Amino acid sequence: MALATTSLRSRGNDLSHADLQLKVLNTTTADASALPRFADALRKADLYPLRPTALEIFQVNLGKMCNQACRHCHVDAGPDRKEIMTRATMQACLDVLATLGDVTVDLTGGAPEMNPDFRWFVQEIHALGKKIMVRCNLTIIVANPKYHDLPEFFRDHQVHVVSSLPFYDARHTDRQRGAGVYDDSMRAMAMLNAVGYGQEGSGLRFDLVYNPVGALLPGPQAALEADFKRELHRKHGVVFNNLICITNMPISRFLEFLVDSGNYQAYMEKLVNAFNPAAAAGVMCRNTLSVGWDGALYDCDFNQMLDLPVAVAASRSILNVDLEALRDRTIVVNQHCYGCTAGAGSSCGGQIA
Amino acid sequence: MSSYYNPADLAKFGNIVEFQEELGKKFFDYYGAVFAEGALTQREKSLIALAVAHVVQCPYCIDAYTTDSLEKGATEEMMMEAVHVGAAIRGGASLVHSTMMMNKAKELMM
Protein backbone atom coordinates (compact mmCIF):
# COMPACT_ATOMS: atom_id res chain seq x y z
CA MET A 1 0.00 0.00 0.00
CA ALA A 2 1.31 3.45 -0.93
CA LEU A 3 0.31 6.78 0.57
CA ALA A 4 -2.00 8.96 -1.54
CA THR A 5 -0.30 12.08 -0.22
CA THR A 6 1.52 13.29 2.89
CA SER A 7 0.29 15.49 5.69
CA LEU A 8 0.07 19.24 5.19
CA ARG A 9 2.12 19.50 8.37
CA SER A 10 4.98 17.44 6.95
CA ARG A 11 5.01 19.54 3.80
CA GLY A 12 5.04 22.80 5.75
CA ASN A 13 1.83 23.79 3.93
CA ASP A 14 0.15 26.94 5.29
CA LEU A 15 -3.18 25.11 5.40
CA SER A 16 -1.84 22.91 8.21
CA HIS A 17 -2.67 25.92 10.41
CA ALA A 18 -6.34 26.08 11.40
CA ASP A 19 -6.36 29.88 11.49
CA LEU A 20 -5.23 30.01 7.87
CA GLN A 21 -7.96 27.55 6.84
CA LEU A 22 -10.51 29.80 8.53
CA LYS A 23 -9.02 32.77 6.75
CA VAL A 24 -9.54 31.08 3.37
CA LEU A 25 -13.10 30.15 4.34
CA ASN A 26 -13.86 33.71 5.38
CA THR A 27 -12.04 35.63 2.65
CA THR A 28 -13.79 37.07 -0.35
CA THR A 29 -11.41 37.39 -3.26
CA ALA A 30 -11.80 39.90 -6.07
CA ASP A 31 -12.97 37.25 -8.54
CA ALA A 32 -15.35 35.55 -6.14
CA SER A 33 -18.75 36.77 -5.08
CA ALA A 34 -19.34 36.98 -1.35
CA LEU A 35 -20.91 33.87 0.13
CA PRO A 36 -23.62 34.40 2.73
CA ARG A 37 -22.56 33.82 6.33
CA PHE A 38 -23.56 30.40 7.64
CA ALA A 39 -24.92 32.05 10.79
CA ASP A 40 -27.25 34.14 8.60
CA ALA A 41 -28.45 31.01 6.80
CA LEU A 42 -29.25 29.49 10.21
CA ARG A 43 -30.99 32.70 11.27
CA LYS A 44 -33.25 32.54 8.21
CA ALA A 45 -34.11 28.94 9.13
CA ASP A 46 -34.91 30.03 12.74
CA LEU A 47 -32.03 27.92 14.03
CA TYR A 48 -29.67 30.62 15.26
CA PRO A 49 -28.11 30.40 17.74
CA LEU A 50 -27.73 26.67 17.25
CA ARG A 51 -28.39 24.77 20.48
CA PRO A 52 -27.65 21.18 21.51
CA THR A 53 -30.33 18.53 21.77
CA ALA A 54 -29.86 15.52 24.08
CA LEU A 55 -26.30 14.16 24.06
CA GLU A 56 -26.25 10.90 22.09
CA ILE A 57 -22.75 10.68 20.59
CA PHE A 58 -19.60 10.97 22.67
CA GLN A 59 -16.93 11.17 20.00
CA VAL A 60 -13.31 10.65 20.96
CA ASN A 61 -10.40 11.30 18.62
CA LEU A 62 -7.65 8.93 19.71
CA GLY A 63 -5.02 10.70 17.65
CA LYS A 64 -3.87 11.91 14.29
CA MET A 65 -1.59 8.91 13.66
CA CYS A 66 -2.68 6.84 10.66
CA ASN A 67 -1.26 4.19 8.34
CA GLN A 68 -2.92 6.01 5.43
CA ALA A 69 -2.71 9.59 4.17
CA CYS A 70 -5.91 10.18 2.18
CA ARG A 71 -6.13 13.17 -0.09
CA HIS A 72 -9.39 14.41 1.44
CA CYS A 73 -8.50 13.86 5.11
CA HIS A 74 -10.01 16.55 7.35
CA VAL A 75 -7.72 15.56 10.23
CA ASP A 76 -4.46 15.95 8.26
CA ALA A 77 -3.66 12.51 9.64
CA GLY A 78 -0.80 10.33 8.48
CA PRO A 79 2.09 8.12 9.55
CA ASP A 80 4.13 11.19 10.50
CA ARG A 81 1.58 12.48 13.01
CA LYS A 82 2.50 11.54 16.56
CA GLU A 83 -0.29 13.30 18.47
CA ILE A 84 -2.26 10.56 20.25
CA MET A 85 -4.46 10.42 23.35
CA THR A 86 -2.82 9.28 26.60
CA ARG A 87 -4.31 6.68 28.91
CA ALA A 88 -4.82 9.41 31.54
CA THR A 89 -7.00 11.39 29.12
CA MET A 90 -8.88 8.19 28.20
CA GLN A 91 -9.49 7.64 31.92
CA ALA A 92 -10.92 11.15 32.17
CA CYS A 93 -13.27 10.25 29.28
CA LEU A 94 -14.30 7.07 31.12
CA ASP A 95 -14.98 9.04 34.31
CA VAL A 96 -17.32 11.34 32.40
CA LEU A 97 -18.89 8.46 30.47
CA ALA A 98 -19.73 6.73 33.74
CA THR A 99 -22.00 9.69 34.60
CA LEU A 100 -23.78 9.67 31.24
CA GLY A 101 -26.84 7.68 30.28
CA ASP A 102 -27.44 5.99 26.97
CA VAL A 103 -24.72 7.40 24.72
CA THR A 104 -22.74 5.86 21.88
CA VAL A 105 -18.98 6.25 22.09
CA ASP A 106 -17.64 7.05 18.63
CA LEU A 107 -13.90 6.34 18.39
CA THR A 108 -12.05 8.01 15.58
CA GLY A 109 -8.61 9.21 14.51
CA GLY A 110 -6.33 8.88 12.48
CA ALA A 111 -6.47 5.17 12.79
CA PRO A 112 -7.69 4.84 16.40
CA GLU A 113 -6.41 1.25 16.56
CA MET A 114 -2.83 2.54 16.34
CA ASN A 115 -3.11 4.12 19.76
CA PRO A 116 -1.37 1.60 22.08
CA ASP A 117 -4.16 2.01 24.66
CA PHE A 118 -6.96 1.53 22.13
CA ARG A 119 -7.91 -1.99 23.24
CA TRP A 120 -7.78 -1.11 26.91
CA PHE A 121 -10.03 1.87 26.25
CA VAL A 122 -12.55 -0.19 24.28
CA GLN A 123 -12.62 -2.83 27.05
CA GLU A 124 -13.26 -0.17 29.69
CA ILE A 125 -16.02 1.51 27.66
CA HIS A 126 -17.59 -1.89 27.04
CA ALA A 127 -17.45 -2.60 30.79
CA LEU A 128 -19.45 0.60 31.33
CA GLY A 129 -22.15 -0.86 29.09
CA LYS A 130 -21.87 1.83 26.44
CA LYS A 131 -22.38 1.23 22.74
CA ILE A 132 -19.12 1.60 20.84
CA MET A 133 -18.50 2.68 17.28
CA VAL A 134 -15.02 2.52 15.73
CA ARG A 135 -14.11 4.44 12.59
CA CYS A 136 -11.85 1.74 11.16
CA ASN A 137 -10.08 2.48 7.88
CA LEU A 138 -10.07 -1.27 7.03
CA THR A 139 -6.45 -1.40 5.84
CA ILE A 140 -5.17 -1.20 9.42
CA ILE A 141 -6.54 -4.73 9.94
CA VAL A 142 -4.12 -6.13 7.35
CA ALA A 143 -1.31 -3.58 7.87
CA ASN A 144 0.53 -5.62 10.50
CA PRO A 145 0.02 -9.06 12.07
CA LYS A 146 -0.65 -7.43 15.45
CA TYR A 147 -3.88 -6.00 13.99
CA HIS A 148 -5.09 -9.17 12.25
CA ASP A 149 -7.28 -10.13 15.22
CA LEU A 150 -9.10 -6.79 15.31
CA PRO A 151 -12.27 -8.33 13.80
CA GLU A 152 -12.46 -10.81 16.71
CA PHE A 153 -11.68 -8.03 19.20
CA PHE A 154 -14.43 -5.86 17.71
CA ARG A 155 -16.86 -8.78 17.80
CA ASP A 156 -16.06 -9.59 21.43
CA HIS A 157 -16.86 -6.01 22.45
CA GLN A 158 -19.90 -5.64 20.19
CA VAL A 159 -18.23 -2.77 18.36
CA HIS A 160 -20.15 -1.16 15.53
CA VAL A 161 -17.56 -0.87 12.75
CA VAL A 162 -17.77 2.09 10.36
CA SER A 163 -15.31 2.14 7.47
CA SER A 164 -14.57 4.47 4.58
CA LEU A 165 -14.75 3.13 1.06
CA PRO A 166 -15.26 5.88 -1.51
CA PHE A 167 -16.15 3.55 -4.37
CA TYR A 168 -16.63 -0.07 -5.33
CA ASP A 169 -13.56 -0.10 -7.56
CA ALA A 170 -9.81 0.25 -7.09
CA ARG A 171 -9.33 3.18 -9.43
CA HIS A 172 -11.49 5.64 -7.51
CA THR A 173 -10.69 4.27 -4.06
CA ASP A 174 -6.93 4.28 -4.57
CA ARG A 175 -6.95 7.76 -6.10
CA GLN A 176 -8.34 9.14 -2.85
CA ARG A 177 -6.82 6.79 -0.29
CA GLY A 178 -3.57 5.42 -1.79
CA ALA A 179 -2.46 2.68 -4.19
CA GLY A 180 -3.43 -0.77 -2.96
CA VAL A 181 -5.99 0.50 -0.44
CA TYR A 182 -8.92 -1.02 -2.31
CA ASP A 183 -7.41 -4.51 -2.41
CA ASP A 184 -6.39 -4.32 1.25
CA SER A 185 -9.86 -3.05 2.12
CA MET A 186 -11.46 -6.05 0.41
CA ARG A 187 -9.22 -8.41 2.37
CA ALA A 188 -10.17 -6.66 5.59
CA MET A 189 -13.88 -6.72 4.71
CA ALA A 190 -13.64 -10.48 4.15
CA MET A 191 -12.01 -10.86 7.58
CA LEU A 192 -14.76 -8.79 9.22
CA ASN A 193 -17.43 -10.79 7.37
CA ALA A 194 -15.78 -14.04 8.49
CA VAL A 195 -16.42 -13.26 12.17
CA GLY A 196 -20.00 -12.18 11.38
CA TYR A 197 -19.76 -8.48 10.59
CA GLY A 198 -22.38 -7.35 8.10
CA GLN A 199 -23.95 -10.81 8.08
CA GLU A 200 -27.68 -11.03 8.55
CA GLY A 201 -28.73 -12.07 12.03
CA SER A 202 -25.26 -11.67 13.56
CA GLY A 203 -26.08 -8.42 15.33
CA LEU A 204 -22.61 -7.22 14.34
CA ARG A 205 -23.09 -3.95 12.51
CA PHE A 206 -20.69 -2.99 9.75
CA ASP A 207 -21.34 0.18 7.75
CA LEU A 208 -19.39 1.74 4.92
CA VAL A 209 -18.84 5.45 4.39
CA TYR A 210 -18.99 6.96 0.93
CA ASN A 211 -17.56 10.36 0.21
CA PRO A 212 -17.11 11.72 -3.27
CA VAL A 213 -13.71 11.46 -4.96
CA GLY A 214 -13.65 15.10 -6.02
CA ALA A 215 -15.44 18.44 -5.80
CA LEU A 216 -18.86 16.82 -5.84
CA LEU A 217 -21.80 16.34 -3.51
CA PRO A 218 -22.72 12.77 -2.59
CA GLY A 219 -25.64 11.33 -4.50
CA PRO A 220 -28.75 9.65 -3.13
CA GLN A 221 -27.68 7.33 -0.29
CA ALA A 222 -30.17 4.54 -0.98
CA ALA A 223 -29.27 4.24 -4.68
CA LEU A 224 -25.53 4.26 -3.97
CA GLU A 225 -25.97 1.70 -1.22
CA ALA A 226 -27.72 -0.65 -3.65
CA ASP A 227 -24.84 -0.22 -6.14
CA PHE A 228 -22.19 -0.84 -3.49
CA LYS A 229 -23.94 -3.93 -2.15
CA ARG A 230 -24.48 -5.45 -5.58
CA GLU A 231 -20.98 -4.74 -6.92
CA LEU A 232 -18.97 -5.61 -3.80
CA HIS A 233 -20.84 -8.88 -3.42
CA ARG A 234 -20.56 -9.72 -7.12
CA LYS A 235 -16.85 -8.90 -7.38
CA HIS A 236 -15.55 -9.91 -3.95
CA GLY A 237 -18.32 -11.76 -2.13
CA VAL A 238 -18.21 -9.25 0.74
CA VAL A 239 -21.19 -7.73 2.56
CA PHE A 240 -22.01 -4.79 4.82
CA ASN A 241 -25.08 -3.28 6.46
CA ASN A 242 -25.55 0.35 5.44
CA LEU A 243 -23.81 2.90 3.25
CA ILE A 244 -23.37 6.27 4.92
CA CYS A 245 -22.92 9.23 2.57
CA ILE A 246 -20.74 12.02 3.95
CA THR A 247 -20.00 15.31 2.22
CA ASN A 248 -16.34 16.31 2.10
CA MET A 249 -15.79 19.30 4.37
CA PRO A 250 -13.92 22.22 2.85
CA ILE A 251 -11.16 22.02 5.44
CA SER A 252 -7.63 20.64 5.76
CA ARG A 253 -6.44 18.43 2.88
CA PHE A 254 -9.75 18.59 1.02
CA LEU A 255 -9.52 22.38 1.22
CA GLU A 256 -6.02 22.09 -0.22
CA PHE A 257 -7.41 20.04 -3.12
CA LEU A 258 -10.22 22.53 -3.72
CA VAL A 259 -7.86 25.50 -3.80
CA ASP A 260 -5.15 23.81 -5.88
CA SER A 261 -7.61 22.40 -8.43
CA GLY A 262 -9.45 25.72 -8.83
CA ASN A 263 -12.68 24.19 -7.51
CA TYR A 264 -12.90 26.08 -4.22
CA GLN A 265 -15.35 28.87 -5.13
CA ALA A 266 -17.65 26.61 -7.17
CA TYR A 267 -17.70 23.98 -4.40
CA MET A 268 -18.57 26.54 -1.74
CA GLU A 269 -21.30 27.99 -3.96
CA LYS A 270 -22.64 24.49 -4.47
CA LEU A 271 -22.76 23.91 -0.71
CA VAL A 272 -24.37 27.31 -0.06
CA ASN A 273 -26.97 26.88 -2.82
CA ALA A 274 -27.85 23.43 -1.49
CA PHE A 275 -28.44 24.71 2.08
CA ASN A 276 -31.34 22.65 3.42
CA PRO A 277 -33.07 23.87 6.62
CA ALA A 278 -34.24 20.33 7.39
CA ALA A 279 -30.65 19.09 7.24
CA ALA A 280 -29.53 22.06 9.34
CA ALA A 281 -32.04 21.15 12.06
CA GLY A 282 -30.53 17.66 12.27
CA VAL A 283 -26.81 18.45 12.20
CA MET A 284 -24.69 16.11 14.29
CA CYS A 285 -23.11 18.83 16.45
CA ARG A 286 -26.46 19.11 18.25
CA ASN A 287 -26.29 15.63 19.77
CA THR A 288 -22.50 15.22 19.85
CA LEU A 289 -19.64 16.09 22.11
CA SER A 290 -16.25 15.76 20.45
CA VAL A 291 -13.10 15.12 22.49
CA GLY A 292 -9.72 15.87 20.93
CA TRP A 293 -6.61 13.74 21.38
CA ASP A 294 -5.46 16.14 24.10
CA GLY A 295 -8.82 16.11 25.89
CA ALA A 296 -10.06 19.42 24.50
CA LEU A 297 -13.81 19.65 23.89
CA TYR A 298 -15.50 20.63 20.65
CA ASP A 299 -18.98 20.68 19.15
CA CYS A 300 -17.89 18.33 16.37
CA ASP A 301 -14.89 16.67 14.75
CA PHE A 302 -14.64 19.41 12.12
CA ASN A 303 -14.58 22.23 14.68
CA GLN A 304 -11.90 20.20 16.43
CA MET A 305 -9.70 20.26 13.34
CA LEU A 306 -10.25 24.00 12.97
CA ASP A 307 -9.31 24.64 16.63
CA LEU A 308 -12.79 26.00 17.36
CA PRO A 309 -13.43 24.88 20.96
CA VAL A 310 -16.84 24.77 22.65
CA ALA A 311 -18.17 28.21 23.55
CA VAL A 312 -18.14 27.47 27.30
CA ALA A 313 -14.73 28.80 28.35
CA ALA A 314 -14.91 27.10 31.76
CA SER A 315 -15.52 23.66 30.22
CA ARG A 316 -13.07 23.19 27.41
CA SER A 317 -11.37 20.00 28.56
CA ILE A 318 -12.55 16.51 29.48
CA LEU A 319 -10.29 16.90 32.52
CA ASN A 320 -12.43 19.76 33.76
CA VAL A 321 -15.87 19.35 32.27
CA ASP A 322 -19.15 21.00 33.25
CA LEU A 323 -21.83 18.98 31.45
CA GLU A 324 -24.62 21.21 32.75
CA ALA A 325 -22.98 24.30 31.23
CA LEU A 326 -22.34 22.43 27.97
CA ARG A 327 -26.03 21.52 27.70
CA ASP A 328 -26.84 25.25 27.49
CA ARG A 329 -24.03 26.15 25.13
CA THR A 330 -24.26 27.89 21.81
CA ILE A 331 -22.74 25.69 19.09
CA VAL A 332 -19.84 27.36 17.31
CA VAL A 333 -20.44 27.70 13.58
CA ASN A 334 -18.39 28.97 10.67
CA GLN A 335 -18.43 28.77 6.87
CA HIS A 336 -17.35 25.10 6.75
CA CYS A 337 -20.67 24.18 8.38
CA TYR A 338 -22.35 24.48 4.97
CA GLY A 339 -20.81 21.06 4.34
CA CYS A 340 -23.21 19.44 6.81
CA THR A 341 -26.34 21.21 5.59
CA ALA A 342 -26.09 20.78 1.82
CA GLY A 343 -28.77 18.78 0.03
CA ALA A 344 -29.75 15.74 2.01
CA GLY A 345 -27.30 16.86 4.69
CA SER A 346 -24.28 15.08 6.07
CA SER A 347 -23.34 13.74 9.44
CA CYS A 348 -21.12 11.02 10.84
CA GLY A 349 -24.28 8.92 10.56
CA GLY A 350 -24.87 9.81 6.91
CA GLN A 351 -27.55 11.85 5.18
CA ILE A 352 -29.97 13.63 7.48
CA ALA A 353 -33.02 14.90 5.61
CA MET B 1 -20.60 40.42 -24.81
CA SER B 2 -17.03 39.12 -25.17
CA SER B 3 -18.04 35.49 -25.64
CA TYR B 4 -21.22 33.66 -26.59
CA TYR B 5 -20.65 31.07 -23.88
CA ASN B 6 -19.79 32.05 -20.30
CA PRO B 7 -19.56 29.28 -17.64
CA ALA B 8 -21.02 31.67 -15.04
CA ASP B 9 -24.23 31.89 -17.10
CA LEU B 10 -25.10 28.30 -16.22
CA ALA B 11 -25.94 29.40 -12.69
CA LYS B 12 -28.23 32.07 -14.17
CA PHE B 13 -30.45 29.54 -15.95
CA GLY B 14 -33.19 30.12 -13.42
CA ASN B 15 -33.25 33.80 -14.36
CA ILE B 16 -35.08 33.07 -17.63
CA VAL B 17 -38.30 33.63 -15.65
CA GLU B 18 -37.35 37.31 -15.54
CA PHE B 19 -38.56 37.80 -19.13
CA GLN B 20 -41.44 35.30 -19.06
CA GLU B 21 -42.37 34.07 -15.62
CA GLU B 22 -45.30 31.77 -16.32
CA LEU B 23 -43.70 29.71 -19.07
CA GLY B 24 -40.33 29.64 -17.31
CA LYS B 25 -41.92 28.38 -14.13
CA LYS B 26 -43.86 25.72 -16.00
CA PHE B 27 -40.66 24.61 -17.69
CA PHE B 28 -38.74 24.27 -14.41
CA ASP B 29 -41.60 22.41 -12.72
CA TYR B 30 -41.65 20.02 -15.65
CA TYR B 31 -37.86 19.77 -15.66
CA GLY B 32 -37.79 18.89 -11.97
CA ALA B 33 -40.45 16.22 -12.46
CA VAL B 34 -38.61 14.72 -15.42
CA PHE B 35 -35.44 14.19 -13.41
CA ALA B 36 -37.12 12.81 -10.28
CA GLU B 37 -36.66 9.11 -9.53
CA GLY B 38 -39.27 7.18 -11.53
CA ALA B 39 -39.31 4.04 -13.62
CA LEU B 40 -35.77 5.15 -14.48
CA THR B 41 -33.31 5.91 -11.69
CA GLN B 42 -31.94 9.42 -11.25
CA ARG B 43 -28.58 8.13 -12.46
CA GLU B 44 -30.01 6.63 -15.62
CA LYS B 45 -31.76 9.93 -16.35
CA SER B 46 -28.57 11.84 -15.71
CA LEU B 47 -26.62 9.64 -18.13
CA ILE B 48 -29.32 10.05 -20.81
CA ALA B 49 -29.11 13.82 -20.27
CA LEU B 50 -25.33 13.64 -20.62
CA ALA B 51 -25.60 11.75 -23.90
CA VAL B 52 -28.20 14.16 -25.27
CA ALA B 53 -26.10 17.12 -24.11
CA HIS B 54 -23.33 15.89 -26.40
CA VAL B 55 -25.68 15.30 -29.31
CA VAL B 56 -27.12 18.82 -29.04
CA GLN B 57 -23.60 20.06 -28.20
CA CYS B 58 -24.70 22.25 -25.30
CA PRO B 59 -21.67 23.27 -23.17
CA TYR B 60 -23.89 24.24 -20.23
CA CYS B 61 -25.59 20.84 -20.28
CA ILE B 62 -22.28 18.97 -20.60
CA ASP B 63 -20.93 20.90 -17.58
CA ALA B 64 -24.08 20.29 -15.54
CA TYR B 65 -24.57 16.62 -16.39
CA THR B 66 -20.93 15.64 -16.05
CA THR B 67 -21.16 16.88 -12.47
CA ASP B 68 -24.60 15.41 -11.94
CA SER B 69 -23.68 11.99 -13.36
CA LEU B 70 -20.65 11.78 -11.05
CA GLU B 71 -22.75 12.86 -8.08
CA LYS B 72 -25.30 10.20 -8.90
CA GLY B 73 -22.53 7.59 -8.68
CA ALA B 74 -21.78 7.10 -12.37
CA THR B 75 -18.23 6.15 -13.34
CA GLU B 76 -16.18 7.75 -16.08
CA GLU B 77 -16.66 4.55 -18.14
CA MET B 78 -20.44 4.77 -17.84
CA MET B 79 -20.34 8.41 -18.87
CA MET B 80 -18.18 7.75 -21.93
CA GLU B 81 -20.39 4.82 -22.94
CA ALA B 82 -23.41 7.12 -22.68
CA VAL B 83 -21.69 9.64 -24.98
CA HIS B 84 -20.91 6.82 -27.43
CA VAL B 85 -24.60 5.89 -27.43
CA GLY B 86 -25.38 9.47 -28.40
CA ALA B 87 -22.65 9.45 -31.03
CA ALA B 88 -23.82 6.12 -32.43
CA ILE B 89 -27.39 7.37 -32.77
CA ARG B 90 -26.18 10.61 -34.29
CA GLY B 91 -23.94 8.78 -36.76
CA GLY B 92 -26.56 6.14 -37.38
CA ALA B 93 -29.17 8.81 -38.04
CA SER B 94 -27.01 10.13 -40.84
CA LEU B 95 -26.16 6.74 -42.26
CA VAL B 96 -29.70 5.34 -42.16
CA HIS B 97 -30.75 8.22 -44.41
CA SER B 98 -28.37 6.81 -47.00
CA THR B 99 -31.11 4.32 -47.79
CA MET B 100 -32.97 7.31 -49.26
CA MET B 101 -29.91 8.15 -51.29
CA MET B 102 -29.68 4.56 -52.43
CA ASN B 103 -33.37 4.42 -53.33
CA LYS B 104 -33.09 7.64 -55.30
CA ALA B 105 -29.88 6.59 -57.01
CA LYS B 106 -31.36 3.25 -58.02
CA GLU B 107 -34.45 5.03 -59.30
CA LEU B 108 -32.34 7.34 -61.45
CA MET B 109 -29.75 4.97 -62.73
CA MET B 110 -30.02 2.43 -65.46
Q: Enumerate domains of chain A plus CATH numbers.
A: 14-341 (3.20.20)
Q: B92: which residues sit within 8 A by CB, 6+ positions away?
A: none
Chain A environment of B41 (Cβ under 8 Å): 223
Chain A environment of B75 (Cβ under 8 Å): 167, 169, 172
Which of the listed CATH numbers 1.10.8.60, 2.40.50.140, 1.20.1290.10, 2.102.10.10 matches domain B39-110? 1.20.1290.10
| A212 in B contact zone (CB under 8 Å) | yes
Question: Quick one: average pLDDT of A28-37?
Answer: 72
Residue A331 burial class via C-beta count within 10 angstroms: exposed 0-12, middle 13-18, buried 19 and up = buried
Q: A22: which residues sit within 8 A by CB, 6+ positions away?
A: A306, A308, A334
Q: Do A219 and B75 touch (CB under 8 A)?
A: no
Chain B environment of A217 (Cβ under 8 Å): 71
Beginning with the edge strand found earlier in the chain, give each strand of the sheet holding A288-291 in spatial order. Answer: A243-245, A206-210, A160-164, A131-135, A104-108, A57-61, A288-291, A297-298
Q: Which ipTM was obtained for this model?
A: 0.80
**How many residues belong to chain A?**
353
Determine the residue of chain B that is closest to A210 in CA distance.
Answer: B73
Predicted confidence at residue B100, as pLDDT, reads 97
Predicted confidence at residue A31, as pLDDT, reads 54
Q: Do A227 and B72 touch (CB under 8 A)?
A: no
Per-residue pLDDT band for A327 (boundaries 50, 70, 90) equals very high
Q: B99: which residues sit within 8 A by CB, 6+ positions away?
A: none
| A219 in B contact zone (CB under 8 Å) | yes
Considering only the beta carbons, identify the residue of A167, A169, A217 that sits closest to B71.
A217
| A292 in B contact zone (CB under 8 Å) | no
**Residues A159-175: pLDDT tens digits?**
999 999 999 999 999 99
**Burial per residue of A172-206, b for 16 or more beta-carbon CB atoms within 10 angstroms, e otherwise:** bbbbbbbeebbbbbbbbbebbbebbbbbeeeebbb
Question: Are A346 and A246 within 8 A, CB to CB?
Answer: yes
Question: In the 3-class helix/strand/coil scheme, how is A296-315 assigned residue by residue?
Answer: EEECCHHHHHCCCECCCCCC
Question: Quick one: average pLDDT of A72-81?
Answer: 96
Q: Domain residues of chain B, as ranges? A: 39-110
Question: Quick one: average pLDDT of A117-122?
Answer: 98
